[in-house]
Structure 1
C-alpha cells in the first residue's frame, strides 16, 4: 500500500500522520510497524519521530513480521482485592504496561485485565494502560495498586496529584556517606539524547521539582541500606537522585558508571529497589496501608553482607 501526502497537509510526525489518516488503526499499531521497518518514506526507513510533509510518498508493507514469542506472565501475588481495586506485589522483570519498545511483553496491565475484565474499561488510556494509576520500573519489585472502577481510578489519581499517597521503598546504595536522615531535592529533566533523567541543582529554573527523603537503616562495609520516602513521583526519581548524590543503587544498570560496578552488582543480578508500603484513602475515606515484604532474593543477599562496626 502506498500513499502520497496531499499538498495542503501540514508537516507532522510520521506516526501521528498515519494515525490521523488511518484512524481504524491505533498509534501503537503504527509505531510498531515503523519500528519493524514496514513503513518507508520516499523509499527510506525512518523513525516514528520523522517529520513528513506535502508530496512525500509513504509505502506501507502489508506483511507483518513473524510474531515474536510473547514473554510468559510470572506469578503475581495479590495482597488484597476489593470491589474498587487490586493491590499486588509486582515481581521484578515485569513491565507495568506495554510500550512501543515492548508491545507484546507480559505486563501488570495485561494480567489485571485478564484477572478482572472490568479493568479493561478503566483509566485515561484503557487500551494501553487499563487500571494503571501509578507505575514501577520494570526491574523494581513491590506493592502496586490497580483500579477496578472509573470512580476509584479518579479518586486515587487525585490523591497522587495532591501528593497525599505515601510510599516507602527500600534500596541498597553504594557507599557509606549518608547522614542518618537526608533530603534530596535535585530537579529532574529528561536528557533528549539518552532518555535518562538528568539531575539539576535545586536552584535551577529548568527541570521539574523532585524531592526524596532518605533514612539510613543499616550500614554495611561498602554499601548502605536505605528507607526511602519519595515526596514527589517523577520518573526514575529515586534512582536518578541517588546517582546524582554519588551513591547509585546496587544492581542499577542505567543510573550508574563503571566506577561503581562491583562484585555486589554482579552477584545480585537485579536492582536493589523495592516498593515496601503504600498508604492511601479508599472511597469511604478510610486510610489503608499495604505492605509487600522484601523478596527472598533481596533478603538473602543482605545476609551475605558484613555490617560495619
Structure 2
C-alpha cells in the first residue's frame, strides 16, 4: 500500500481528459428540443427519442452526469423546454462495428458483479483499431463478458473506460454494467481516480518531487507522436506529479501520479523536462542519455535495453469509488518480469559505482 499522496487535489478548472490513461468522453447524442416541445421529464423525453434505451438506463446515465442540458448536469425530473440542447457523452467513441470475442488468457486481479481489474501485459493493444481489429484486450474482454448483459443484439460492449499504451503494462478497470461503466468514466472525467505509475527515466534529479505542467497535443512535425506546448497555444492542459523512489546514477525510478490523462502524457512530459523514459524509442529514450556511450557501460546499458525492449512504464495502482457500494477501492500490481529484471541490473550497477 502506498502512503497517502503528498500531491495536491486535481484542479477542477482543467479541461476534460483525452486518453492515455484515457479519460476522454465522446458525444454520442445531441438532441435539440422542438420549439413547440411541451414540458416533459428529461428521462421520459429521452426514452421517446433514443432507440433500445430503457428508462432505468437513462436515469442511471443522468445520475452519473453523463447527460447534460444546455451544458449543465441535471436530474431525471428536469422538465425539458423548447430549444433545450440535450447531450449524452460516453467513455467510448460511437461504434461502427462489432467486436469479435476471442479467447485469450487474462490476468484478472479482481472481479465482482459490477467491475473487474485486469493487469495488462506489455505488447497487448487495448482497443481494436486500424491494423489491430483482432487480438486486442477488448477482444479478450468481449469473450470473457459475452454472457453478461453487456452483450446486446450481437454487439459486445466491454466497459473499458480508460486506456494505456500498447507497450505499457499494468492495471485497467472495466465496468461490467452500463451503470458501472458510466459511473467509473465520470470519475476519470472529473479527475477523482487515484492512479500511479512506475517510470524509469534517464538522468538524475536534485529534487525529491515535482510537477510537470504543459499542454499536450499532436506534434506539428510528426502526427504520430505528442508534443508539449508550455504556453498553452495548442493541445489540452496536462499535469503530472512525480516523486523520486530510487536514484541509480544515470537513471532514476519515479512514481508518477496523473492529474489528467492525455495521450502519452508521462512519456512526453518526461521528455519535455529532459528525462525521457528508459528504452522509449518514440521519445528518444532508446539510446544512452546519461554517461559515456563507450566501453563496459555501453555494453551494460545495451544489455538492459535487451531485457526491457519497450518504454519503462508500468501502471502500478488504481484507487476509485465502487459504483454500487460507494466504498473506496484500491488495487496494486507488481512490476512485470522485464521491468523488474532491468531494475535489478541497475541496482547492481549502482551498488558498485
Common fold, TM-score beyond 0.5? yes
2: CA distance, partners of 1:231 / 1:133: 16
User: Cα distance 1:307–1:258, how it changes in 2: closer, same or farther (>3 A)?
Assistant: closer
The structural deviation recorded for 1:74 is 5.8
Partner of 2:169: 141
Residues 51-90 of structure 1 mapped to structure 2, 5 A cutoff: 75-90=105-120
Q: Could you tell me which runs of 5 or more consecutive residues in structure 1 were left unpaired when the two chains were aligned.
A: 1-25, 30-69
Are the aligned partners of 2:268 and 2:283 in contact in 1 as well (CA < 8 Å)?
A: yes
Are the aligned partners of 2:217 and 2:228 in contact in 1 as well (CA < 8 Å)?
A: yes
The structural deviation recorded for 1:140 is 0.6
2: CA distance, partners of 1:156 / 1:122: 19
User: Cα distance 1:285–1:197, how it changes in 2: closer, same or farther (>3 A)?
Assistant: same
2: CA distance, partners of 1:120 / 1:98: 21
1:228 paired with 2:264, answer no
The structural deviation recorded for 1:76 is 2.3
Residues 1-309 of structure 1 mapped to structure 2, 5 A cutoff: 27=96, 75-104=105-134, 106-118=135-147, 121=150, 130-191=158-219, 193-201=222-230, 203-256=231-284, 260=288, 263=302, 264-283=304-323, 284-305=325-346, 306-307=349-350
The structural deviation recorded for 1:254 is 1.0
**Once the two structures are superposed, what CA deviation does each residue of 1:159-203 show, in whole Å capped at 9, x if it has no partner?**
0111000100001001113521010002101125432111111x3
User: Cα distance 1:92–1:127, how it changes in 2: closer, same or farther (>3 A)?
Assistant: farther
Using structure 1 for the length normalisation, give the TM-score. 0.70
User: Cα distance 1:83–1:182, how it changes in 2: closer, same or farther (>3 A)?
Assistant: same
Are the aligned partners of 1:248 and 1:260 in contact in 2 as well (CA < 8 Å)?
A: no
Moved more, 171-180 or 160-169: 171-180
User: Cα distance 1:113–1:244, how it changes in 2: closer, same or farther (>3 A)?
Assistant: same
User: Cα distance 1:163–1:90, how it changes in 2: closer, same or farther (>3 A)?
Assistant: same
Partner of 1:19: none
The number of residues matched between the two structures is 239
Are the aligned partners of 2:243 and 2:256 in contact in 1 as well (CA < 8 Å)?
A: yes
Are the aligned partners of 2:113 and 2:176 in contact in 1 as well (CA < 8 Å)?
A: yes
| Aligned-residue RMSD, C-alpha | 2.7
**Helix, strand or coil at the partner of 2:160:** coil
The structural deviation recorded for 1:27 is 4.9
Are the aligned partners of 1:184 and 1:211 in contact in 2 as well (CA < 8 Å)?
A: yes
**Once the two structures are superposed, what CA deviation does each residue of 1:95-127 show, in whole Å capped at 9, x if it has no partner?**
1111113223x111111111121568379xx96
User: Cα distance 1:143–1:258, how it changes in 2: closer, same or farther (>3 A)?
Assistant: closer
2: CA distance, partners of 1:119 / 1:243: 42
2: CA distance, partners of 1:119 / 1:217: 42
2: CA distance, partners of 1:247 / 1:116: 40
The structural deviation recorded for 1:288 is 0.1
User: Cα distance 1:258–1:280, how it changes in 2: closer, same or farther (>3 A)?
Assistant: closer
User: Cα distance 1:122–1:285, how it changes in 2: closer, same or farther (>3 A)?
Assistant: farther
Partner of 1:47: none
1: CA distance, partners of 2:151 / 2:209: 39
